[in-house]
Amino acid sequence: MNTFIRITTFGLLSLLLFGAVQSRSAPDKYKPIDVTSGGTITGVVRFEGTRPNLEQVDIKTKEDVCHSEPVYSENLVVSKEMKVHWAVVSLKNIKTGKAFEEPKDPKDRPTLDQKGCVFKPHIVLVERGKPLKLLNSDGVLHNVHTWPKKNRSKNIAMPGPVKEMTVKFRRPERIRVSCDIHRWMEAWIIVTEHPYYAVSDEKGKFELTDIPPGKYTLRVWHETLGEFEQEVEVKANDKTSVEFVLSEEKQD
Amino acid sequence: MKKANHPVKTLDEKTDSLRLWDISGDEPTNIHVKAQQRSIRWEYFVAVIVVIIAVSVFFVGCQTKGPITSEPAMSPTVSPGSMGYELFQANCAACHGTSGRGDGIARMALDVAPRDFRNEPFRYVSTLDSIPTREDLIQTIKHGRVHGQMPAAPWLSDESTSILVDYVLELNRLGWVDKLTQEFTGDEEMTSQDIAEIAFERVTTEEPITLAMPGPQFRTNFTRGETLFMESCTSCHGPSGKGDGLDMPLDDLGRPIKVRNLTSDPIRGGSDVFELYKRIRCGVPGTPMPAQPALTNEQVWQLVFYTRSLMGQPQPGIER
């Protein structure tokens, strides 16, 4: 009987140990380090195909503030030079690198404004767990309705007199944001796990700085065109130029 | 309806261990014991069994860590034969369907679609993150949502109600597991464990509100109420509360819905002041109606009484 008890105890203990080991191994999180002589990636996102026209939104609401300027859909903005605006470029699977920069001026903190019944900017980057400022510059009721997949979902009213609120998101992901009252309003909150994220400007340009030298996978995501990747090598104190070519056919 | 004799806790305690077996799909290993001859000491069999168990547990552990598997999520809480299952079939399945997808046999006779527990958010909450508390669900089950055609169930004991709450929350959690598994299969950055965590978060509220009474200085003020209503409600409910502010509103699943006409429609969540307070403060998840975390307690109470006045309700004192 003693042997039995001994064997059983041993068995149960080993089970517990296995269980503990299995549940403890958390996924590798991004670790900030001092980056000296880091490299830079600059690049441009180009569109291939027939240039899509900007679509003006037909605004039905009577609220004057929504008619202050013509509103265009920002789902696919391509410049005359065929460059793609609002593409999100990031380094995939980077585990160590520079720390997030805390903006000196609180005004420079990540902000999503509601102005002229348009979310501004169309795409905003925010570090996970850090506050995202929501502004209502319009003085009419807006609601910030988020459609996350990994985070808790929120639908928050911002009545006219409420000028500022903050929200936080714990898990990195791309979250679509809408307003139920003004249905053309759409934005994306990109919750980031590391600072190597950039959004292409109206000339399709982007830049990532202070990257520890090494080989990386660079990822671009566009809400209409989809997701693409390419390999890049970053050298110390050097600039690497990259071009992404996106087309509607390549979309998955 | 089967009688509930053993307490719920037993079910819950078993959950983890049973779940492991469900995933591994192994048959109980005792079968091998009889096939062996008695000449070898029986302790060795025990040792062998323990090793087999340890190894299979190890592999099950590996599975939950690795890439997402598309195995259907199982749970003893909702499997046939469990207390929750029996209670649900007896009391809820006629409308909500045997598997809780809102497709019960009585559905055709209803004007309102019964809640699909696997794919829809719960509507009547007292939290700011769109997730009901247990008390919210207990209230819905016990008192019903009369104007939404859900009947009250006064015959259910507190224990049975509590088991049903576990049951629908578990259906909702499993619905999330399925949805997320579908969404993220092939995504190398997500594991089955991540999905399990997210699904758990989606049924576990972090922001319950406290239903604070108005202060002693509070007086209902029609003008203030009206101003607040204009600022926060008319965009959808219309300037006079007739539900004519929003053009073709949709719910979260893209189905057309009606904005409540506050002057004539029955209020599904209940029109007593406390229920109105919760709807205004917390919104109605799954619909365009947002939460109002920015309003002060006093402002919400002004809106409650202004809304009551639109309904043609006398202005009551605060009493239960």
| A110 or B75, greater pLDDT | A110
Average pLDDT, chain A: 89
Tokens 């709807």 belong to residue: B279
On whether residue A22 sits in a domain, the answer given is: no
A27, A152, A155 member nearest B290 (Cβ): A155
A11, A23, A155 member nearest B54 (Cβ): A11
DSSP conformation class of B214: P
Which range marks the domain in which residue A83 is found? 31-247
On whether residue A138 sits in a domain, the answer given is: yes
Residues 6 or more apart whose CB falls under 8 angstroms from that of B231 comprise A141, A159, A160, A161
Residues 6 or more apart whose CB falls under 8 angstroms from that of A42 comprise A205, A206, A207, A208, A239, A240, A241, A242
Spell out the domain ranges in chain B.
1-206, 222-310
B62, B191, B231 member nearest A161 (Cβ): B231
- Round the CA-based radius of gyration of chain B to a whole number and report it: 25
Contact B291 A145 (CB under 8 A): no
Residues 6 or more apart whose CB falls under 8 angstroms from that of B135 comprise B126
Cα B47–B52–B56 angle (5° rounding)?
150
Q: State the pLDDT at residue B238.
A: 94
Is the peptide bond prior to A172 cis by the omega test (within 30 degrees of 0)? Answer: no
CB contacts of A141 in chain B (<8 Å) are 231-235
On whether residue A58 sits in a domain, the answer given is: yes
CATH of domain B222-310: 1.10.760.10
Q: What pairing do the DSSP bridges indicate for beta strands A186-192 and A123-127? A: parallel
Contact at 8 Å (CB) between A136 and A158? Answer: yes
Q: State the pLDDT at residue B315.
A: 61
Q: State the pLDDT at residue A170.
A: 94
Minimum CA–CA partner of B196 in chain A: A150
SS3 label, residue B148: helix
Phi then psi for residue A143, to 5 deg, are -130, 135
Quote the CA–CA distance of B166 and A247 in Å, as a whole number.
48
- For residue A153, the domain's CATH number is 2.60.40.420
The average pLDDT across A134-155 equals: 94
Quote the CA–CA distance of B100 and B104 in Å, as a whole number.
8
**Residue A149 confidence class, pLDDT cut points 50, 70, 90:** very high
On whether residue A231 sits in a domain, the answer given is: yes
Among A152, A162, A179, pick the best mutation site for testing chain B contact (most B Cβ within 10 A).
Answer: A152
The average pLDDT across A97-101 equals: 94
SS3 label, residue A185: coil
Residues 6 or more apart whose CB falls under 8 angstroms from that of B177 comprise B73, B195, B196, B199
Minimum CA–CA partner of B296 in chain A: A162
B43, B128, B130 member nearest A7 (Cβ): B43
The average pLDDT across A14-24 equals: 54
Q: Specify the number of domains making up chain A.
A: 1
On whether residue A2 sits in a domain, the answer given is: no
Identify the sign of the CA torsion B100, B101, B105, B107: positive
Q: State the pLDDT at residue B102.
A: 92
CB contacts of B292 in chain A (<8 Å) are 156-157, 159
Q: State the pLDDT at residue B112.
A: 83
Q: State the pLDDT at residue B265.
A: 87
Contact at 8 Å (CB) between B275 and B313? Answer: no
Which of A58-67, A199-208, B204-213 has the highest mean predicted lDDT (pLDDT)? Answer: A199-208
Minimum CA–CA partner of A150 in chain B: B198
Low-confidence ranges of chain B (pLDDT < 70): 1-40, 46-47, 50-51, 53-67, 69-74, 314-320
Which of A18-22, A68-72, B129-133, B309-313 has the highest mean predicted lDDT (pLDDT)? Answer: B129-133
| B188 or A111, greater pLDDT | A111
